[in-house]
Amino acid sequence: MRNVKGLAQAKAYLASRGNLLSLEMPAQLAQEVARRSQAIFGQPYTVPEVVARILREVRQGGDAALRDLTLKIDGVRLDEMEVPKAALVKAAEGLARELRSALELSAQRVTSFARASMSKSWYDPATGLGERIVPLDRVGAYAPGGNAPYPSTVIMTVCVAKAAGVREVIVCTPARDGVNPSPVVLGAAHIAGADRVFRLGGAQGIAAMAYGTESVPRVDKICGPGNIFVAMAKQQLFGQVGIDGVFGPTETLVVADDSADPATCAADLLGQAEHDALATPILVTTSERLLRQVEREVEAQLPGLAKKDIAATALAGQGALLLVDTLEEALEVGNLVAPEHLCLNVRDPWRWAPLVRNAGGLFLGAHSAEVMGDYVAGPSHTLPTHGTARFASYLGAEQFIKRIPVVALSPEDALALAPTAATIAYAEGFTGHARAAERRLK
């Protein structure tokens, strides 16, 4: 992990990180994409070009294109795209008792949090103004299925959408055994209350939900994480369909003082590092002693991880230990990073929480581990990454509603306001607008 000392050096280091769109694709991956696209499409494409080709084919070809692409890309023959409801029930019933109980508790807490945060319609008869809160009609949730199943992603997307009142939630997730998606993902979909599930992955699954096909209904919004092809598909489809965001590699920033436990800090950093070779684990501390202890703990705990090679790559590439003079400086660094997860492992974290302006999620105190947010705390774990927490929020109930302003003016209010409307309309050259306002004066 990189060692950085002092606020000035920390700022220089952060400035060198760039932004989400400046992340460079590893040369090896770019070469592999070109090789595979040559084999599949007859031309060596970049990732954006591959995704644009897939979107175009699905938009034009519907189900036939989905079957063709899934066979060529995933090696899966799609006889039936939709997973029967009975298979979802069977998958849930087949889960190990401990896992099913864990998913049910997670679903309960996520649903409760989403309902508590839900906005409510309002109307003020005195002014004739109000606002209607209207849920989206249909939402699509994507559940990755590459190297491992992610039932938590299903819980954290479907439960929030259903709690917001979305009429229909569909899930797209790729087949893992050549026929069906992961039974854990299917079981989670049933527990979360998903209405329909389709055996579709990658950019073609995103395209199917965005455009709609003979079998897959068109959705109003798509949410959920995925690989680079999924992220690029969501980016290219923005405007055609609502999206929750384009997410980069995951990241955690731990702010710690000399009261923090080094082993716990190291465990939190490693828990982030094992996600992805491009994950970012950062410690910012006011204690050089703690920094050295955490550094040793990371080295000691790393060999015990099942995904130690991934974690080691992330630590070497993006990991950093930043030493600053004060907690004010530490939180200044945190606001500059605007991390997906910001953990305050300090004395009296509530005292320092008001200084946090930019964070996808805020975790106060050593007991509020980021891993709890990943699985069971309550808020959705889908959070803005790579600095986008400066302007974006987590996947909450607000992302699944529309806010419709209501205007119901009384005759008296219309008489009082019409001259103002007409004056502004004339200034803008819109005589039709002005005359429409003036008619209310007659």
- The model's confidence at residue 178, banded by pLDDT at 50, 70 and 90, is low
Q: Catalytic: 340?
A: yes
Does the pLDDT value for residue 57 go beyond 70?
yes
Measured CA to CA, the distance from residue 328 to residue 334 in angstroms comes to 10
pLDDT tens digits, one per residue of 332-358: 999 999 999 999 999 999 999 999 999
The mean per-residue pLDDT over the stretch 173-185 comes to 85
Angle between helical axes of 151-163 and 97-116 (0-180°, round to 10) = 30
Catalytic, out of 341, 370, 381, 386: 341
Contact, 232 vs 203, CB < 8 A? yes
Does the pLDDT value for residue 281 go beyond 60?
yes
pLDDT tens digits, one per residue of 113-160: 999 999 999 999 999 999 999 999 999 999 987 667 889 999 999 999
Measured CA to CA, the distance from residue 185 to residue 320 in angstroms comes to 34
Residue 26 has what pLDDT?
Answer: 63
Report the percent of the chain where pLDDT is more than 70. 97
The encoded tokens of residue 93 equal 């019933």
Measured CA to CA, the distance from residue 98 to residue 103 in angstroms comes to 9
Contact, 187 vs 160, CB < 8 A? no
407: buried, middle or exposed (CB in 10 Å: 19+, 13-18, 0-12)? exposed
- The model's confidence at residue 245, banded by pLDDT at 50, 70 and 90, is confident
Q: How many CB atoms lie within 10 A of CB 65?
A: 19
Measured CA to CA, the distance from residue 60 to residue 48 in angstroms comes to 18
Does the pLDDT value for residue 331 go beyond 60?
yes
The encoded tokens of residue 435 equal 């005359």
Contact, 54 vs 207, CB < 8 A? yes
The mean per-residue pLDDT over the stretch 204-230 comes to 94
Q: Catalytic: 329?
A: no
Domains of the chain in sequence order: 2-13+248-391 (3.40.50.1980), 27-74 (no CATH), 82-243 (3.40.50.1980), 409-441 (no CATH)
Measured CA to CA, the distance from residue 137 to residue 143 in angstroms comes to 20
Does the pLDDT value for residue 8 go beyond 70?
yes
The residue written with tokens 């050096």 in the block is 9
User: Across-strand partners of 237?
Assistant: none
- The model's confidence at residue 179, banded by pLDDT at 50, 70 and 90, is confident
Residue 148 has what pLDDT?
Answer: 74
**Closest by Cα among 226, 173, 163, 172 to 379:** 163
The mean per-residue pLDDT over the stretch 164-182 comes to 89
Across the chain, mean pLDDT equals 92
Contact, 163 vs 65, CB < 8 A? no
Three-state secondary structure string covering the chain: CEEEECHHHHHHHHHCCCCHHHCCCCHHHHHHHHHHHHHHHCCCCCHHHHHHHHHHHHHHHHHHHHHHHHHHHHCCCCCCCEECHHHHHHHHHCCCHHHHHHHHHHHHHHHHHHHHCCCCCEEECCCCEEEEEEECCEEEEECCCCCCCCHHHHHHHHHHHHHCCCCEEEEEECCCCCCCCCHHHHHHHHHHCCCEEEECCHHHHHHHHHHCCCCCCCCCEEECCCCHHHHHHHHHHECCEEECCCCCCCEEEEEECCCCCHHHHHHHHHHHHCCCCCCEEEEEECCHHHHHHHHHHHHHHHHHCCCHHHHHHHHHHHCEEEECCCHHHHHHHHHHHCCCEEEEECCCHHHHHHHCCCCCEEEECCCCCHHHHHHCCCCCCCCCCCCHHHCCCCCCHHHHEEEEEEECCCHHHHHHHHHHHHHHHHHCCCHHHHHHHHHHHC
pLDDT tens digits, one per residue of 363-400: 999 999 999 999 999 999 989 888 889 999 999 999 99
Measured CA to CA, the distance from residue 322 to residue 4 in angstroms comes to 5
Measured CA to CA, the distance from residue 172 to residue 209 in angstroms comes to 8
Instruction: Tell me the CA end-to-end span of the chain in Å, nearest whole number.
Output: 75
**Closest by Cα among 246, 221, 202, 218 to 59:** 218
Catalytic, out of 190, 340, 381, 386: 340
The residue written with tokens 């997860």 in the block is 341
- The model's confidence at residue 16, banded by pLDDT at 50, 70 and 90, is confident
Beta-strand pair 168-173/138-142: parallel
Does the pLDDT value for residue 436 go beyond 90?
yes
Does the pLDDT value for residue 79 go beyond 90?
no
Report the percent of the chain where pLDDT is more than 90. 77
The mean per-residue pLDDT over the stretch 231-245 comes to 92
Does the pLDDT value for residue 25 go beyond 70?
no
- The model's confidence at residue 361, banded by pLDDT at 50, 70 and 90, is very high
Does the pLDDT value for residue 227 go beyond 90?
no
Top pLDDT among 54 and 76 is at 54
Q: What is the value of pTM for the model shown? A: 0.90
- The model's confidence at residue 18, banded by pLDDT at 50, 70 and 90, is low
Does the pLDDT value for residue 315 go beyond 70?
yes
Q: How far is CA 261 from the centre of its chain?
A: 30
The encoded tokens of residue 359 equal 């964070």
Does the pLDDT value for residue 243 go beyond 60?
yes
Q: How many CB atoms lie within 10 A of CB 192?
A: 26
pLDDT tens digits, one per residue of 288-300: 999 999 999 999 9
The mean per-residue pLDDT over the stretch 261-269 comes to 96
Cβ neighbors of 369 (< 8 A, separation 6 or more) are 268, 271, 343, 363
Flag the least confident range among 173-177, 389-393, 402-406.
173-177
Residue 250 has what pLDDT?
Answer: 86
The encoded tokens of residue 140 equal 């699509």
